[in-house]
Amino acid sequence: MIVLASTSPQRRAILDQLRIPYEAVAPAFDEGPDGDPVEHAAGKARSVDGGGRPVLGVDTIVSCAGETIGKPRDAADAERMLELLAGRTHEVVSGLCLRTPAWEELRRETTRVTFRPLTPRDLGHYLGSGEWEGRAGAYAIQGLGGSLVERIEGDYLNVVGLPGALLVRILAARFPGTYGFG
């Protein structure tokens, strides 16, 4: 069993989907609004005592046109973010830290997401759903936000909130057969 240094429902759902047993623990790390996702993931993982079990920390940011796009403050901020992403390609970058008392793996995963052009009606419909609240980039690809997306290049689960393929590769290499991988 791993310890997930997060209370994110999306990250828990991904671990459930991949059938990776875990215990979720709130990290004692304040990531702040800016910074490197790998450093934030490490800070989260290092702030939790796994009791000898592997601890997983993850942080995800959205980047477009040189701007890091966090979680919107309100509907107007969400609209600004979605207008920036409309008809463009952006990057979803996750930092991942998997650590035990003996070792630590720090990795970065990037997925490119292209939004279709959005009309005022598209924006109004999505903003009215409220799904943008608490979401980096002001959208959730696994929900109604998927209708905004034209294509993705890379790991879909990374856009949801945890780079699943990367985690599986690390677990298979570090713990062959233990989690059903490798």
Residues tagged active-site: 59
As a 3-state breakdown, the chain gives helix, strand, coil percent values, each rounded to 5, of 35, 25, 40
**In degrees to the nearest 10, what's the CA dihedral of 90, 62, 11, 49?**
140
Closest CA to 169 of 10, 52, 18, 37: 18
Closest CA to 150 of 93, 85, 94: 85
